[in-house]
Amino acid sequence: MKRFLVIMFTVLTVLSFSKVKVTFWGFTMNDEHAKKVLTTFMKENPDIDVEYVQLSWSNGFDKIVTAIAGGDALDVVELGNTWVASFADKGALENMDSFYKKYGKNYIGWNTTYYKRSYYSVPWLLGTRAMFYNLELFEKAGLNPDNPPVTWDDVLKAAAKIDALGPDIYGFGLPSGESYSPWQQWFLPAVWCTGGDIISEDGKKALLISPRVNQTAEFYRKLAKNSLKTKQDDLAKAFGEGKVGMYVSGAWDIDYLETNYPELPFDVTFIPKPSENSGTHASFAGAEVLAVMKNSKNKDAAQKLIEFLIKPDVAMEIAKLWPAIFPSHVDAGKDPWFTDHPMHKVFYEQNKYAKPVPSIAVWPKIEDVLKDLVEEIILTDKSIASILTKYNTIVQDILDGKR
């Protein structure tokens, strides 16, 4: 009997030590949520243990960089999609082309994970922007709230009519005075709406002096005349107070507005396109992507974890905790939750038109340039041509490695 117990103890000990331990560094889930989700995964995969480390957006990027530089054997890391090119360029991410071949047709958002003809992560949770509009201000301005603006011309006409309602009322809200929102909320997507871009596909040439960027800049200059120009959070507050007719933001503002301004009559619609017969409803593609790190010693187990996390039911449960990002699975929109959340459904569908920033390693440097460019367009009277020429030179210098 004693011999049997010793043998059983030895077997159990060997089994316990034979478990694969996978590290998962993430941002979206807190420890409580992660424990619930990952416990289910570990029950389904009893040979794998997952250690979750929650990162913050304020310093998470730096922690990942430090870990890579220190040779830490990370396994799965959640990344913001604008970071993929930078990490892939440094050789820190495992190539996921085989994963794409297996799952690609069932998920959208792969364009957010692409770098130099390969995929270096997996789209998990997608977030984008849509246009909010005030139903009451539309009615007061003689506009039909059941037919929100579809084109840029529609936006300009509606903004002018709403702006004319009074000195404290603004037709539109354009973000300024901060790093990301001035170019991210609409300016860069507006360029994409025309079919244009600010950088060539090969990442070698700045295109800010192209006709389509000029077209976008001219539209933005006109829109600025009837717009409140301030930080994004202040725009949301002003919209909630009934002082702004329209603005572009993410789905997180649905909860903010419903909680803080429960009497506010508002709705959301797709990003307007240049005209009825040209352009698209392009928007900024934000995404939480899952990457297997190049120095992982447990790549098979890491891929199993990713396969589990991207399942539509699992991803949807996570998305409900933070309803501003939605599963990348093509059938996630069929979830009954969207029936009771029609405005969120608009954002889910808007994701089909969303586009990521150019997949180049120097993108973080270009972000700062775009912020200054947009603010010169909407806050000064300088000629559009001179502004675009100035910043085209700066961007080209960055692409050429001179800055």
> What CATH number should be reported for the domain whose range is 129-284+362-399?
3.40.190.10
* Residue 366 burial (CB count, 10 A): 23
Hey, which residues does 134 pair with through a beta bridge?
Answer: 266
Mean pLDDT along residues 30-53: 94
Burial classification of residue 6, based on how many CB atoms lie within 10 Å of its CB (0-12 exposed, 13-18 middle, 19 or more buried): exposed
| Torsion (CA) 6, 11, 17, 21 in degrees, nearest 10 | -150
Compute the average pLDDT of residues 208-228.
Answer: 98
* Beta-strand pair 283-284/122-127: unpaired
User: Can you read off the two tokens belonging to residue 314?
Assistant: 């699992």
- Residue type, position 161, single letter: K
Q: How far is CA 289 from CA 26, 38, 266, in A?
A: 10, 17, 31
12 vs 30, which has greater pLDDT? 30
For the segment 327-350, the average pLDDT, to the nearest whole number, is: 92
pLDDT at 193 over 80: yes
Side by side, the strands of the sheet bearing 266-269 are 227-230, 170-175, 244-250, 129-134, 266-269
Interatomic CA distance for residues 191 and 219, integer angstroms: 10
Q: Is the pLDDT of residue 66 over 60?
A: yes
pLDDT of residue 17: 54
User: By percentage, how much of the chain surpasses pLDDT 70?
Assistant: 96
pLDDT recorded at residue 13: 46
pLDDT at 16 over 80: no
Provide the greatest CA pair distance for the chain: 92
Q: Answer yes or no: is pLDDT of 285 > 60.
A: yes
CATH of domain 2-128+285-355: 3.40.190.10
Amino acid 15: pLDDT:
47
| Residue 19, both tokens | 């478990």
User: pTM score, two decimals?
Assistant: 0.86
Average pLDDT over residues 167-180: 95
Q: What average pLDDT is seen over the chain?
A: 92
Q: Where in the chain is the domain with CATH 3.40.190.10?
A: 2-128+285-355, 129-284+362-399
pLDDT (0 to 100) of residue 5: 43
232-273: per-residue pLDDT in tens?
A: 999 999 999 999 999 999 999 999 999 999 999 999 999 999
